[in-house]
């Protein structure tokens, strides 16, 4: 009987210790392992709207693999984020329990980022990283964005035990970093797609019935500069004056729709049916001289019978997660 009693006491002690850790491991009123009803209660306690629950879908959880999940989202009742409370809480349920959780405060705060590091006892080397603020701690893998707006956590141990995750904790950190880099890579693609739309509209807006008279927009230098790594925040200012000059001004760009982590370049050549426009987005996301590049090449549409018409473009990606 003694081994059984001893085992029971050890289990009880471990359970109590885990329960004591919940407040420190929780993201506000939210925590991993919650059910839908518990998520709703947490949303109400946080002053958020009634959560929305999506239909089941196959999705990659923080880079740990594709699995069937349900997304549950609770939004703030405020019109604009104050940065003081949670703006958006998102959970992904696996087998009816939250296995991935993210809270978004809607506004950046380096001070909040430091508080998260302190509360979660993040390793010192992680705190110094520019971008890879991801680490494992017992059964969890944490990620803090570089400006303190979003905090994410995934239940690595729970997913691993259920055989949905086949990587080590250290490996989970690596794939999680790639997962968040994909978000920045999407920013480059979306920014360049917006720039492509503006360039095509400028080209096709020329009032001429002769395709040979169509002229591409003029070439530019890398804008706002060749790299953001010399900026204090390692990203460009929100309203870069460089976009209000030359070819950029002709395109009537909204700079707020361009990711601040990347530089943008227009290379134009030729005229009429021999026109060629290359649009480039390039960024050193970690400021370690490893560069991520996205390009799209535009040419006149050879099937167009008259006027200025362009093809949708040919896309190229080089080291998108660097």
* pLDDT score recorded for residue 126: 87
267 pLDDT band (50/70/90 cuts)?
very high
The mean pLDDT value for 84-93 works out to 94
299's CB contacts (< 8 A; 6+ apart) are 275, 276, 277, 310, 311
* pLDDT score recorded for residue 238: 83
Closest CA to 281 of 156, 194, 171: 194
- Please give the residue that has the higher pLDDT: either 181 or 193: 193
User: Tokens 């239940």 label which residue?
Assistant: 155
41 pLDDT band (50/70/90 cuts)?
very high
* pLDDT score recorded for residue 128: 82
Closest CA to 274 of 306, 241, 298, 238: 298
1 pLDDT band (50/70/90 cuts)?
very low
Query: Lowest mean pLDDT: which of 1-15, 41-55, 91-105, 211-225?
Result: 1-15
Distance CA 13, CA 76 (A): 38
Torsion of Cα atoms, 14 then 16 then 18 then 24, to 10°: -150
User: Tokens 């035990």 label which residue?
Assistant: 161
Q: Is the pTM of this model over 0.85?
A: no
168's CB contacts (< 8 A; 6+ apart) are none
The mean pLDDT value for 243-253 works out to 91
Could you read off the pLDDT of 155-177 as tens digits, one per residue?
Answer: 999 898 888 888 888 888 888 88
Residue pair 62/53 in contact by the 8 Å Cβ criterion: no
Q: In the structure, how many helices (H) and strands (E) does the chain have?
A: 7, 12
Whether residue 5 has pLDDT greater than 80: no
* pLDDT score recorded for residue 322: 64
CB-neighbour burial class of residue 230 (10 A; exposed 0-12, middle 13-18, buried 19+): exposed
* pLDDT score recorded for residue 16: 39
Distance CA 107, CA 79 (A): 13
Share of the chain above pLDDT 70, in %: 91
* pLDDT score recorded for residue 240: 80
- Please give the residue that has the higher pLDDT: either 9 or 30: 30
* pLDDT score recorded for residue 25: 64
HEC assignment per residue over 255-304: HHHCCCCCEEEEEEECCHHHCEEEEEEEECCCCCCCCEEEEEEECECCCC
Whether residue 12 has pLDDT greater than 70: no
Could you read off the pLDDT of 275-311 as tens digits, one per residue?
Answer: 899 999 999 988 888 889 999 999 998 887 777 888 9
Whether residue 211 has pLDDT greater than 80: no
Torsion of Cα atoms, 134 then 138 then 140 then 145, to 10°: -20
Q: What stretch of H or E contains 25? A: helix 2-25
Could you read off the pLDDT of 89-142 as tens digits, one per residue?
Answer: 999 999 999 999 999 999 999 999 999 999 999 998 888 877 778 999 878 999
* pLDDT score recorded for residue 20: 42
Beta bridge partners of 90: 73, 102
Structural domain spans, the chain = 20-166, 186-318
* pLDDT score recorded for residue 209: 65
């Amino acid at each position: 009987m003694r081994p059984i009693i001893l085992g029971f006491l050890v289990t009880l002690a471990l359970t109590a210790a885990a329960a004591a850790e919940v407040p420190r491991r929780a993201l506000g009123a939210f925590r991993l392992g919650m059910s839908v009803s518990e998520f709703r209660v947490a949303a109400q306690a946080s002053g958020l709207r009634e959560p929305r629950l999506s239909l089941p879908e196959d999705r990659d959880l923080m880079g740990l693999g594709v699995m069937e999940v349900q997304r549950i989202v609770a939004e703030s009742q405020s019109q604009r984020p104050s940065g003081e409370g949670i703006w958006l809480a998102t959970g992904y349920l696996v087998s009816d329990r939250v296995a991935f959780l993210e809270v978004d405060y809607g506004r950046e705060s380096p001070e909040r980022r430091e508080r998260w590091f302190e509360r979660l006892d993040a390793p010192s080397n992680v705190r110094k990283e520019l971008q890879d603020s991801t680490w494992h701690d017992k059964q969890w893998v944490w990620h803090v964005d570089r400006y303190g707006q979003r905090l994410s956590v995934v239940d690595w141990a729970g997913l691993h035990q259920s055989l949905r995750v086949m990587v080590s904790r250290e490996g989970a950190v690596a794939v999680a970093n790639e997962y968040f880099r994909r978000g920045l890579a999407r920013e480059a693609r979306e920014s360049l797609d917006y720039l492509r739309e503006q360039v095509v509209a400028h080209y096709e807006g020329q009032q001429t019935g002769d395709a040979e008279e169509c002229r591409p927009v003029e070439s530019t230098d890398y804008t706002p500069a060749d790299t953001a790594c010399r900026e204090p925040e390692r990203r460009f200012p929100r309203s870069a004056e460089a976009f209000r000059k030359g070819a950029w001004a002709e395109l009537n760009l909204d700079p707020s729709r361009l990711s601040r982590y990347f530089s943008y370049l227009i290379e134009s050549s030729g005229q009429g049916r021999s026109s060629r426009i290359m649009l480039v987005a390039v960024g050193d996301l970690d400021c370690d001289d490893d560069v991520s590049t996205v390009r799209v090449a535009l040419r006149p549409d050879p099937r167009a019978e008259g006027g200025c018409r362009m093809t949708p473009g040919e896309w190229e990606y080089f080291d998108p997660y660097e």
